[in-house]
Structure 1
Amino acid sequence: MSRADATKARILQAATDEFATYGIAGARVDRIAKTAEANKNLIYVYFGNKDQLFDAVFDAHVTHGLNSVPFTACDLPEYAGRVFDYCLRHPEVIRLATWHRLERGDRDDPAVAAPARDAKLDALATAQDKDGIGAEFSPPTLLTLVLSMALAWNPSNITSLPACSSGAESTDDRRSALVEAVRRLL
């Protein structure tokens, strides 16, 4: 890895932590540079402005997230479980997505998400035509329901109890309930 690539990687990691914690408006380029042990000017050289740096971080994580969770249209319950697992391992991705919706909710969906989403919708339409899976819902509605259920216990959902709360289920119990709920939905 070249020195420039290593610096870019450190900046992206520092920016990921900064944006996940503070959002776009609250993030500070000075803190990112200090954490990354990089010259602040390099951030502007490599990424443009702060908004473009957020876009680079968001695109990298959304692309990775969308591509790393295998989608199987004929087994949506297990797909929901895999999304649940991914979100537990990568809470920063949920925080970045939440900040994106809060601070950029008036804009179109990020272009980076469209190809993966469209591929899932096509696969769902094919599975519905072939096997009748979730046929009472349109593919966009079905995908939205499955993903919403998989994200029900994410930290930005104020209606869910934390796993450590009195009477709350364990993480394994929650995953099992999710898989069963999606199975019943279909």
Structure 2
Amino acid sequence: MARDAEATRERLLLAACDEFSRVGHAGARVERIATAAGTNVRMIYAYFGDKSALFDASLAHLVREMAEAVPPRPEDMPGWAAALVEHHDRDPRALRVSMWAQLERPETTIEPLEVYAAKVATVASAAATGLLPADVLMFVYAIAQAWHLSPAGLAAEGSITTSARAEAARIAVERLVRGSGPGIA
């Protein structure tokens, strides 16, 4: 039976995305990744070089996947924030691997920076806030990720359903981009 190199590489990448999102770079084991992908450890080194390169490829893959699934909507930033909340609730892997990267490998620079550059350019048209487009983008992400990044006790006091969190994010971003509105000084 002929081997399908691209299919093996893809299985390794997907297994790595799952492993790194659960336990980060330091906790990940190439043996578990290879087993989950139905191959052997040698293939990780053949396709990716080493565990760190596989981590970087996983991060890049997840960020690109998220960018394709939930592209910025400068004409509807509040709706985009709500969609990001829904995406993170459905699939928190991009958020988790990004956080592991910041914690364990802050010196890492990855290819998806072009994804963020494209998003900043897209958001630039929505920068009537007086803020820099990159700042608007960071605030939207911070709002959309808040429930995943907040202490459990605080998160338990906030909106508990995906739809309630999405609505709260939509309202917060609407106030950010359109003015303070009621209750905001």
| AA matched with 2:132 | S
Q: Which runs of 5+ in 2 are unaligned?
A: 178-185
TM value normalised by structure 2: 0.84
Q: Distance in 2 between matches of 1:121 and 1:160?
A: 33
Change (3 A) 1:153 1:15: same
Cross-structure match for 1:139: 133
| AA matched with 1:49 | D
Cross-structure match for 2:150: 157
Q: Is the 8 A contact 1:80 1:149 kept in 2?
A: yes
Post-superposition CA distance 1:64-105 (Å, at most 9, x none): 112221211121101111111111111122111111111112
Post-superposition CA distance 1:32-51 (Å, at most 9, x none): 12222212111111111110
Q: Distance in 1 between matches of 2:34 and 2:119?
A: 38
What is the CA-CA distance between 1:167 and the residue it aligns to?
Answer: 7.1
Within 5 Å, give how 1:35-46 maps onto structure 2.
35-46=36-47
Within 5 Å, give how 1:67-146 maps onto structure 2.
67-105=68-106, 107=107, 109-112=109-112, 114-128=113-127, 133-134=128-129, 136-146=130-140
Secondary structure of 2:125 counterpart: helix
Q: Distance in 1 between matches of 2:165 and 2:25?
A: 31
Q: Is the 8 A contact 1:146 1:182 kept in 2?
A: yes
Cross-structure match for 1:173: 164
| AA matched with 2:30 | V
What is the CA-CA distance between 1:2 and the residue it aligns to?
Answer: 5.8
Secondary structure of 1:153 counterpart: helix
Change (3 A) 1:167 1:123: closer
Q: Distance in 1 between matches of 2:140 and 2:65?
A: 19
Q: Distance in 1 between matches of 2:17 and 2:77?
A: 30
Q: How many residues of Structure 1 are paired with residues of Structure 2 in the alignment? A: 176
Secondary structure of 1:38 counterpart: coil
Q: Is the 8 A contact 1:150 1:178 kept in 2?
A: yes
Change (3 A) 1:55 1:109: closer
Cross-structure match for 2:174: 183
